[in-house]
Amino acid sequence: GENVEQHPSTLSVQEGDSAVIKCTYSDSASNYFPWYKQELGKRPQLIIDIRSNVGEKKDQRIAVTLNKTAKHFSLHITETQPEDSAVYFCAASVGTGGFKTIFGAGTRLFVKA
Amino acid sequence: DTGVSQNPRHKITKRGQNVTFRCDPISEHNRLYWYRQTLGQGPEFLTYFQNEAQLEKSRLLSDRFSAERPKGSFSTLEIQRTEQGDSAMYLCASTTEGEQYFGPGTRLTVT
C-alpha cells in the first residue's frame, strides 16, 4: 500500500536546540521526498527535498537524510529559532512516474524562547 | 499575483447541496493536484492532472467528487450532495516537476 508515517506528532524544543522529525514510507519505488512547512492559517511551503539517488542534503540550518534500504528519511533543524515553530509535513512520491504524493500526518514543532 | 489561486476562499453550504471550487495554477505548470486537509492532518491526495488528463483519483474518493481541467489550465472540483464529513480545507497545488506550489485553499463548511 501507499503510506507515509511521521513521528513525533508534536515536538517541543528550547531555542538553539536541534529538532529531528522522522518518516517512513511503504512504496519501495518512491524516489522523491519533500518536506513542507505550514504555519497557522497558511499554505504548505517546501523547505527542502531529496531524491533517491542522494543520501543527504543540507541547506543552511536544515538537512534531510534518506535511508532507502530502511525506507525512512529524516528532517534535521539545527539552532532552532522561535520562527521555526510550525507544522512540518514529510511526503513521498508513489505510483507510476512518481507523480502522486502522499503526505505524513505532520509534526507540530514548538520552539520555546 | 503569479501564484496559485483558489476561489472561493470560504464556502458554507447546507447538507445535500452541490458545491464547486476553482483552482488557477501557475500558468506554465502542467501538473495540478487536489488535496483535502482536515485539522491536525496532512494534505490527503484526491486527484491529479497532467495537462487536461486526469491521471489518478484516490480510491477513498466517492462518486460524489469529480474534477475537471478542460483546457489544461484552471481546474474545478465539484462535490455533489455534500455531507458534514466533507467539511475540510480543499487545497490545490501545481508543479512542473518536484516542488508543488499550493494555493490558499477553499474552506468548506457543511451545516
Q: What is the pLDDT along chain B (111 residues), one digit of tens a residue?
A: 579 999 999 999 999 999 999 999 999 999 999 999 999 899 999 999 999 999 888 887 789 999 999 988 999 999 999 999 999 999 999 998 889 999 999 999 999
Interchain proximity A43–B41, CB inside 8 Å: no
Q: What is the pLDDT of residues A42-87, one digit of tens each?
A: 999 999 999 988 899 999 999 999 999 999 999 999 999 999 999 9
Place of cell 445535500: B16
Average pLDDT, chain A: 94
Residues in chain B within 8 Å Cβ distance of A106: 40-42
What's the confidence (pLDDT) of residue B102?
97
Distances (CA, A) of B5 to A40, A64, A65, A86, B41: 18, 30, 33, 23, 22
Bond into A8 cis (ω within 30): yes
Interchain proximity B45–A89, CB inside 8 Å: no
3-state secondary structure of A47: strand
Place of cell 483519483: B57
Specify the amino acid at residue B44. E
Q: Which residue of chain A has the CA closest to B104?
A: A43
